[in-house]
A and B are shown apart, each in its own frame.
Chain A
Amino acid sequence: MNHALILPILLPAVVGAVLVIVARHDALLARALSLTSSVLMLGIAIMLLVMASDGSVRSYALGAWPAPFGIVLALDRLSALMLVLTAVLGLGVLVYAVCGWDQRGRHFHPLFQFELMGINGAFLTGDFFNLFVFFEILLIASYGLMVHGGGGLRVKAGVQYVVTNLIGSSVFLIAVGMIYNVTGTLNMADLARVVPQVPAADQALLQTGAVLLLMVFAVKAALVPLHFWLPGTYANAPGPVAALFAIMTKVGAYSIIRLYVLAFGADAGEAAWLAAPWLLPAGLVTLVLGMTGVLAARSLGQMASFAVIGSMGMLLATVAVFTAQATSAALYYLIHSTLGAGALFLIADLVAERRGGQRDRLVAAPKFAQGGLIAGLFFVAAIAITGMPPLSGFIGKLLVLDGVRESAHAAWFWALILSTSLIAIIGFSRAGSIVFWKTHAQPAAAAPTRRSDAPALFAVGGLLACLVLLTVFAGQVHGWLELAAAQLYAPAGYIDAVLGTAQGVR
């Protein structure tokens, strides 16, 4: 057994606990520990990515309990990719947060580590009750992060967020119960083996459970009509936390890709491609609603939230085509939109911090410190997110348009993606001109005395640099993603790897 598989969960768990106990009163130590852990995490994630690149699926049976009975972790290309993405975004956000945000409340760093632990666990686990547990870990940490720094409005938005997710958790458990009731297993690979043999009499229960589970993942992924919690939460969360949350919607997307290709895919008999008829229209509506929201937003934070919703719509509609080609395009877009949204939330926070009373609202305000540089960063992020050439958003959209060409609904995709891109461009240019250009028309305020926080700008620049790298190496990245998608659509390898360990250990 390869113990490296559990490191992405173990490292943040241990560091988080140490941070709570040892570094509670020492800001410097907490920052150092947290940053070290995030850098190590990135190293581990890249190591796992290299390991997974050989095309085999690795599984890790916790406590050496054989697979359908014990809990397993499984690493394939998709999981490894998500781990690296989490580590990159996490490091960027943490570098930003240590410029001051982490001191505005207590326990930022432990919560941050536990959040990473939950996210990593959700990407690695091969058992869907365990998926529930990791969802809870990341949610509990996110409740704390969401209200970090306090303030009435933020706490109230936090209550809405907690209530929504608690209802989601209840539905998750009911769905898990239904599926377990019919199939008698909680292991995803074992589920994939059992689902085709479910008798017709039990199909109704199984499929209800599966669709309920899809609903839970849709809540996490902010799919219309379950997206309503996102704008309030993200726009009121602290900037760096909102940026980290950009990966949380992707946890929902990952779970959908994983479970509905593996267990309810081509071989599932009556339940084959169960998710597609729900996911595709919902995704397209989400795309339209999100991009329209960008146009209607009243603050940069809100605009970024709606951009996240729109990108989730496009991502999930593309996934819902359920072909390897479309999925590889969706995965490329997923990397791009996570990093882009993270950068955009950080930029919104940079603006809000510097403008004083106007915060990040889309109203004209006097000039602020480093306005030119931040405007440049915003410009790059906007180009990337709206999908204009030359950055990765353009390539992502191109891949998606190409990937769905064979689909029966290709006309819808083309029409909606192209028209919503235009709407998004209008929304972003409006916001950018109000925030960054109309400053000249305003009377100059007293020179802001804020010190320049180079690491914060560096963090935003770093995330945007990742987008540039993603553009430059688009060919190689997409080639790798095609292999990852092909691996997903050949679930036999995954099932053998997970259930095979059982025989190996015994």
Chain B
Amino acid sequence: MEFLVASAIGVMTAAGIYLVLRARTFPVVIGLSLLTYATNLFLFATGRLAINQPPVIAVNAVGYIDPLPQALVLTAIVISFGMTAVVVVMALRAYLETGNDHVDLPGDASPEASEDDWKQRGRRQQPPPARSGGGARA
């Protein structure tokens, strides 16, 4: 079980970090979610892994599991859930106001962001033209 939990945390963290480093907001949001899942699981595991043990006083209990990490995880889940909602709304607003969904600020430093900008290219209603290379893709 330890191996399963540990590798789940590791894989989710790795995937989360990979996605957070992408150029567009959608993968970044998904990456953040994965990262918070991994964090929550990790936090849960800090109370040691054990099966069939009560966290609070119970009759006939042979042992107890640390209840505190479970309380911490609950707090962390609530906060990360709320924050994911906030970042989705802000990313959407940024997309609608600036015209592209790149994480970079528009400007000279990020030509890709201006290239994808539907406001600048005036193709709001049209599907984006097919691109040959993957250069501008997220």
Give A residues with C-beta under 8 Å from B.
129, 133, 136, 140, 143, 147, 150-153, 155-160, 162-163, 166-167, 169-170, 173-174, 176-178, 180-181, 186, 232
**Interface pair B105/A163, CB less than 8 Å apart:** no
Instruction: Identify the interface centre among A159, A160, A169, A174: most chain B CB within 10 Å of its CB.
Output: A159
**Interface pair A162/B39, CB less than 8 Å apart:** no
A157 surroundings in chain B (CB, below 8 A): 105
Q: Is B75 an interface residue (CB 8 A)?
A: yes
5 contacts between A and B (CB under 8 A): A147-B90, A152-B106, A163-B32, A166-B80, A177-B46
A147, A153, A166, A174: the one within 8 Å of B106 (CB): A153
**Interface pair B72/A176, CB less than 8 Å apart:** yes
Q: How far is the CB of B112 from chain A (nearest CB, A)?
A: 14
**Interface pair A180/B28, CB less than 8 Å apart:** no
Q: How far is the CB of B92 from chain A (nearest CB, A)?
A: 10
Interfacial residues of chain B within 51-99, with CB under 8 A of chain A in the complex: 68-69, 72, 75-76, 79-80, 82-83, 86-87, 90-91, 93-94, 97-99
B38, B46, B105: the one within 8 Å of A160 (CB): B105
Given the known A-B contacts A140-B83, A169-B83, A170-B35, are A155 and B46 also in contact in the complex, defined by CB atoms under 8 Å? no
B20, B32, B105: the one within 8 Å of A153 (CB): B105
Q: How far is the CB of B78 from chain A (nearest CB, A)?
A: 10
Given the known A-B contacts A147-B90, A173-B39, A173-B43, are A162 and B106 also in contact in the complex, defined by CB atoms under 8 Å? no
**Shortest 3 CB-CB distances between A and B: which pairs?**
A152-B97, A152-B98, A181-B46
- What is the interface size of chain B, counting residues whose CB is below 8 A from a CB of the partner? 34
A162 to B93, CA, bound (A): 13
Interfacial residues of chain B within 1-58, with CB under 8 A of chain A in the complex: 20, 25, 28, 32, 35-36, 38-40, 42-43, 45-46
A180 surroundings in chain B (CB, below 8 A): 46, 68-69, 72
**Interface pair A170/B98, CB less than 8 Å apart:** no
**Interface pair A129/B79, CB less than 8 Å apart:** no
**Interface pair A156/B94, CB less than 8 Å apart:** yes
**Interface pair A232/B105, CB less than 8 Å apart:** yes
A177 to B70, CA, bound (A): 11
A176 to B39, CA, bound (A): 11
A162 to B25, CA, bound (A): 12
A166 to B45, CA, bound (A): 21
Summarize A's interface: helix, strand, loop or mixed. helix
Give B residues with C-beta under 8 Å from A.
20, 25, 28, 32, 35-36, 38-40, 42-43, 45-46, 68-69, 72, 75-76, 79-80, 82-83, 86-87, 90-91, 93-94, 97-99, 103, 105-106
Write the chain A residue with the least CB distance to B99.
A152
Instruction: Identify the interface centre among A152, A169, A180, A181: most chain B CB within 10 Å of its CB.
Output: A152
Write the chain B residue with the least CB distance to A146.
B90
Write the chain A residue with the least CB distance to B25.
A159
B36 surroundings in chain A (CB, below 8 A): 166, 170
B72, B98, B99, B105: the one within 8 Å of A129 (CB): B72
**Interface pair B98/A163, CB less than 8 Å apart:** no
**Interface pair A151/B97, CB less than 8 Å apart:** yes
A313 to B36, CA, bound (A): 30
A166 surroundings in chain B (CB, below 8 A): 32, 35-36, 80, 83, 87
**Interface pair A158/B94, CB less than 8 Å apart:** yes
Given the known A-B contacts A159-B91, A159-B103, are A177 and B32 also in contact in the complex, defined by CB atoms under 8 Å? no
B20, B35, B90: the one within 8 Å of A158 (CB): B90
A152 surroundings in chain B (CB, below 8 A): 94, 97-99, 106
Q: How far is the CB of A157 from chain B (nearest CB, A)?
A: 6
**Interface pair B35/A162, CB less than 8 Å apart:** no
**Interface pair A156/B28, CB less than 8 Å apart:** no
**Interface pair B90/A159, CB less than 8 Å apart:** yes
Known contacts A163-B20, A170-B38, then 9 further A-B pairs from the complex at CB < 8 Å, ordered by chain A residue: A133-B75, A136-B79, A143-B90, A152-B94, A152-B106, A159-B91, A160-B103, A170-B36, A177-B69
B42 surroundings in chain A (CB, below 8 A): 173-174, 177
